[in-house]
Chains A and B, each alone.
Chain A
Amino acid sequence: MNAELIVDWTRCEGRGVCLDLLPGSLRPDDWGYPLAPHPGVRILIDGDSYEAATTAVRECPRLALRLATPS
């Protein structure tokens, strides 16, 4: 299943839990906030990382993440 990881930037404080869980989908920016690995702003999650992404949504200490699936 493909999905998009959506960050509520007003909540995110760059604690880094999602960066640990999704090393293939995210990298830290200059200040430690999650960034898609390639240019472009959408953080796309493929089938292989979907499980880890749901964990990241659940474990984010700031509750700043949600997964949007194409309808």
Chain B
Amino acid sequence: MRVQHRAVGGPRVTSLLGPHAPTLSAHLDLFGPLPDCGGRELLDQIAQAGLTGRGGGHFATARKLALVAGTPNAIVIANAAEGEPASSKDRVLLGDAAHLVLDGLTLVARIAGARSTHLAGPADLLDGVVTTALRDRPERHVRLHAVPAGFVAGQETSIAAFISGRPARPVTLTRPLMTGGIAGRPTVVLNVETLAHIALIARFGAAWFRAGGVPDDPGTRLVTISGAVREPGVWEARGGTTLGEIIDVAGGVTQPVQALLIGGYHGCWVPWTPRAATSALTRAGLQEYGATPGAGVVVALPAQRCGIRAAAEIAAYLAGESTGQCGPCRNGLPTIAQHLNDLAQSRATDETVRELYLLSDMVDGRGACRHPDGTARFVRSSLHVFAAEVADHRAGRCTAPPGRAAELPRRRRLY
């Protein structure tokens, strides 16, 4: 038995989260040495493992890596720039297992034939745990990039732009980064959790990884749970874990809960019902709610809070996080936020709700990044799931107590 830490849904021999910031020797004691496998062999293992991107995109990691494997001059980037305020998993992972992430980065460099690699993330983590970990290691090829905070600063194209010396803002691609990214060179950006899984797959194999989950959601994933639960924090959940199990492992709810926000501020609300408790935190399990796990975010909204006021607060935050590069997002998101605020303040006319749906359709898909699309999805979900509160507000009533709508995560928190 090596390490078992905060695993949901049964014991697991080895997990991503472990003793805080182990030294390299403790890391090697825990996981064993980095195997000397070839890039091709490892790529096959990752494909058989069925690993998907843990940054929220769920793209098959092996397919991404196959595009850069064996190309000349490839650039490999580890992304720890977690822009989502309701997610802390990348921060916790780097704090607990920076060596696992760096192992993954070295392995991907081997697959891609890359000579230099990059790690982009918040300055305090780079200066702290990452620099400390690198001091112990033989690699001299990792370049660190302190990415400024911002909801869209962690998007793949923002990170590539930033490493090219431009602001960390999304850019329009004419072809995928993998075939022509930074300076036309094949570029692959991988979330740090994805890299940590690669380091474990290289050691323990595809079958071991798959045994950590279910066939349609192999392996484990890190989940950040916040809101009305007793023990908010970051947990490692086996693939196929249900929403009920996730709430249980976080100590259960502190008060009656009406809905879970799944997938973060670009995500969807799932009404908290006995049926939802049996739904898996997987793409298939969440399909009926229009949600996806995203980067593994679950926020529990108390029943006595107003869903529309919570939605208005989040929409205002998202509007403020538009980089203003694209007209539909720059103009549309503040208008959406204003309308939702009018509704939350019970100042809405009959037109307001209709206008919110029209505006959501109008911004959807019309930007260099997914910020307008994600905001539209969140607004539609809010109007749908909190339909009864929408009706109350249109009649000039709000049944929730005054004050802030919810203790929604605003900034990253260290748990």
Residues from chain A with a CB closer than 8 A to the CB of B335 are 30
Are B326 and A29 in contact, CB atoms less than 8 angstroms apart? no
Secondary structure dominating the interface of A: loop
Are B361 and A9 in contact, CB atoms less than 8 angstroms apart? no
Closest chain A CB from B164 CB (angstroms): 15
Name the residue in A11, A30, A32, A42 with the highest tally of chain B Cβ atoms < 10 Å from its Cβ.
Answer: A30
A66–B174 alpha-carbon span in the complex (Å): 9
Are A41 and B327 in contact, CB atoms less than 8 angstroms apart? no
Residues from chain A with a CB closer than 8 A to the CB of B332 are 30-31
Q: Which of B42-50, B241-249, B256-264, B363-371 contacts A (4 or more CB under 8 A)?
A: B363-371
Known contacts A35-B362, A39-B361, A66-B174; decide if A9 and B331 are in contact (CB<8 Å). Answer: no
Whether B113 is near chain A, meaning CB under 8 Å from some CB there, is no
Whether B67 is near chain A, meaning CB under 8 Å from some CB there, is no
Whether B328 is near chain A, meaning CB under 8 Å from some CB there, is yes
Residues from chain B with a CB closer than 8 A to the CB of A21 are none
Closest to B361 in A: A39
Are B364 and A10 in contact, CB atoms less than 8 angstroms apart? no
Residues from chain A with a CB closer than 8 A to the CB of B172 are 8-11
Fill in one digit per residue for A1-30: 1 if any B CB lies within 8 Å of its CB, else 0: 000000111111110000000000000011
Residues from chain B with a CB closer than 8 A to the CB of A41 are 364-366
Whether A50 is near chain B, meaning CB under 8 Å from some CB there, is no
Known contacts A31-B327, A31-B328, A33-B327; decide if A9 and B171 are in contact (CB<8 Å). Answer: no
Q: How many residues of A contact B (CB 8 A)?
A: 18
Residues from chain A with a CB closer than 8 A to the CB of B328 are 9, 29, 31, 33
Closest chain A CB from B214 CB (angstroms): 33
Instruction: Pick the residue among B171, B174, B362 that contacts A29 (CB under 8 A).
Output: B362
Whether B325 is near chain A, meaning CB under 8 Å from some CB there, is yes
Instruction: Pick the residue among A12, A39, A42 that contacts B327 (CB under 8 A).
Output: A12
Fill in one digit per residue for B322-362: 1 if any A CB lies within 8 Å of its CB, else 0: 00011111011001000000000000000000000001011
Are A10 and B331 in contact, CB atoms less than 8 angstroms apart? no
Residues from chain A with a CB closer than 8 A to the CB of B325 are 9-10
Closest chain A CB from B55 CB (angstroms): 22
Residues from chain A with a CB closer than 8 A to the CB of B364 are 41
A41–B329 alpha-carbon span in the complex (Å): 14
A63–B172 alpha-carbon span in the complex (Å): 13
Name the residue in A8, A9, A33 with the highest tally of chain B Cβ atoms < 10 Å from its Cβ.
Answer: A9
A22–B271 alpha-carbon span in the complex (Å): 44
Residues from chain A with a CB closer than 8 A to the CB of B174 are 66
Instruction: Pick the residue among A8, A13, A32, A39 that contacts B368 (CB under 8 A).
Output: A8
Closest chain A CB from B337 CB (angstroms): 15
Residues from chain B with a CB closer than 8 A to the CB of A13 are 327
8 A Cβ contacts from B170-191 to A: 170-172, 174
Fill in one digit per residue for B56-73: 1 if any A CB lies within 8 Å of its CB, else 0: 000000000000000000
Closest chain A CB from B23 CB (angstroms): 45
Closest to A31 in B: B331
Closest chain B CB from A36 CB (angstroms): 10
A13–B359 alpha-carbon span in the complex (Å): 19
Can you list 6 A-B pairs, Cβ within 8 angstroms, ordered by A? A9-B326, A9-B327, A10-B368, A11-B172, A30-B359, A31-B327
Q: Name the 10 nearest CB pairs between A and B, nearest first.
A: A41-B365, A9-B326, A31-B331, A8-B172, A10-B325, A33-B327, A10-B368, A9-B367, A29-B362, A9-B368
Please list the residues of chain A having a beta carbon within 8 angstroms of any beta carbon in chain B: 7-14, 29-33, 35, 39, 41-42, 66
